Amino acid sequence: MLKGGEVSQYVIGGADLMFPGISIPAEGLPPFIAAEAWAVKVPGNPAPIAVGTTGMIFTEALKARLRGKALKIAHYYGDLLWQVSVGIDIEI
């Protein structure tokens, strides 16, 4: 879950997600491996706005003090894949 809408503008612009933009739950993040697929959501919206893969394993993320790139974004709301999925004609 993102900290808020101010981070979402970068993600739906195609930027990768950095750890400081993630809202960490009180119980902490669940363990993860590198290249694991995750969805990105914003508070108040039940639908994901992006999907991406983790850039490192959980233990590396903790050693880095949850700094740096959390997810390499693969697809996001409004990108070409999304446009095709909702029937928008695109020029290639």
CATH code of 31's domain = 3.10.400.20
Kindly tell me if the per-residue pLDDT of 5 is higher than 80.
no
Residue 56 in any domain: the answer is: yes
Range of the domain at 27: 5-85
- Element of type H or E holding 72: strand 69-76
Residue 92 in any domain: the answer is: no
CB 2 within 8 A of CB 23: yes
The pLDDT tens digits of the residues spanning 18-54 come to 999 999 999 999 999 999 999 999 999 999 999 999 9
Give the pLDDT of residue 1.
82
What domain count does the chain have?
1
Residue 75 in any domain: the answer is: yes
The pLDDT tens digits of the residues spanning 44-84 come to 999 999 999 999 999 999 999 999 999 999 999 999 999 99
Residue 91 in any domain: the answer is: no
Question: Residue 76 forms beta bridges with which residues?
Answer: 50
Question: Residue 40 forms beta bridges with which residues?
Answer: 50
